[in-house]
Structure 1
């Protein structure tokens, strides 16, 4: 880290060559809304880690946060995988250029792939848990009051939410899933398409069981 590293709400933004390359890639690939959201996810995740006194790697948390919505972008979107998996794969491919252990690569992959699967990430290693914590704070306002007014204000001053963030993020989620609605089965993006796409029909797990090819 250099002495001129950016610090927001007491959190130092990673400024290694890898982190800078990730920042540049995401900045060039994503919309302003998604870029600022991803940076806030890192900051809220890191603040959560500090508050809970977790031992985590800030660089890996940064990569997970910055890539967590890359699967929404056409360049990184597959035809059949969940957008979370597409983003996780993009991060894994990016990390191949750096001297990163397989366990750390797996942690980053999990942190992105699981960030819309409630109830699991908090039981995983810190990087996985903290990416989801950052997402849940920025999108859902979970643990909102665990952050100080000053922390929230500084984070959102440096990386603004804008007046229509809620609608904007729903639109982004819809864009990332509307072409492959089958990938929303069993995850929260089904709720997004149900709200945003009048042609969407939710797959019912109980119906799948009753209509399976088994006789009984």
Structure 2
């Protein structure tokens, strides 16, 4: 696993190797390659911004961030982001990782679809979201050199029609628990993919509460 891609070295520790194997065995090719790319985009962002980050923690956050979309790690009632964060926490706990590091990875995964917050937090948290935003939304696409984009995507290619396929993966992972999309971007996914989906309205909840006025 001692790989160097776009100037970024993949962590080669026991926990990183085990995480890679677990995710490789659990996720399909699209999610696995996406998760690996998220690590590289996050690390390259950290290098560009001069941030001091822990590559191993960033790697764990990136690799586990979509595990909540898989059947094996999906709960019936929690946001998929929380399912992924809980999976990472249990995995890291089994390796004796310290609570502060576990918390950083947990938050990085739990907040990766909540825009406007992660970039103000510690580097692991900020950079996982930066990697996700680059790979899914193309945010700051032109801040990465053509050479770096080519190097990363040569090793972990974006599948044909990745844009539509990743939306389908999101929909498949959350369709059975639409209530978990309230207040986050995944409501847009079900609005597009599920004709029976009805958005929960924040103002309607306020007006319909038990308070008299």
TM-score (norm 2): 0.99
1:77-101 deviation digits (Å, cap 9, x = unpaired): 1011000000000000000122321
The secondary structure found in structure 2 opposite 1:45 is helix
Matched, 1:117 2:117: no
Structure 2 Cα separation of the partners of residues 125 and 5 of structure 1: 26
The secondary structure found in structure 2 opposite 1:198 is coil
Q: List alignment gaps of at least 5 residues for structure 1.
A: none
> What's the counterpart of residue 10 of structure 2?
13
Matches within 5 A, 1:173-188: 173-188=170-185
> What's the counterpart of residue 206 of structure 2?
209
Q: Which runs of 4+ in 1 moved over 2 A?
A: none
Matches within 5 A, 1:15-30: 15-30=12-27
Structure 1 Cα separation of the partners of residues 203 and 96 of structure 2: 45
Which among 145, 156, 160 is matched to residue 159 of structure 1?
Answer: 156
Displacement of 1:213 in angstroms is: 1.3
Which among 131, 137, 140 is matched to residue 137 of structure 2?
Answer: 140
Alignment RMSD (CA, Å): 0.8
> What's the counterpart of residue 103 of structure 1?
100
Matched, 1:81 2:64: no
Structure 1 Cα separation of the partners of residues 196 and 203 of structure 2: 21
TM-score (norm 1): 0.97
Which among 40, 48, 56 is matched to residue 43 of structure 1?
Answer: 40
- Give the number of aligned pairs: 213
Q: List alignment gaps of at least 5 residues for structure 2.
A: none
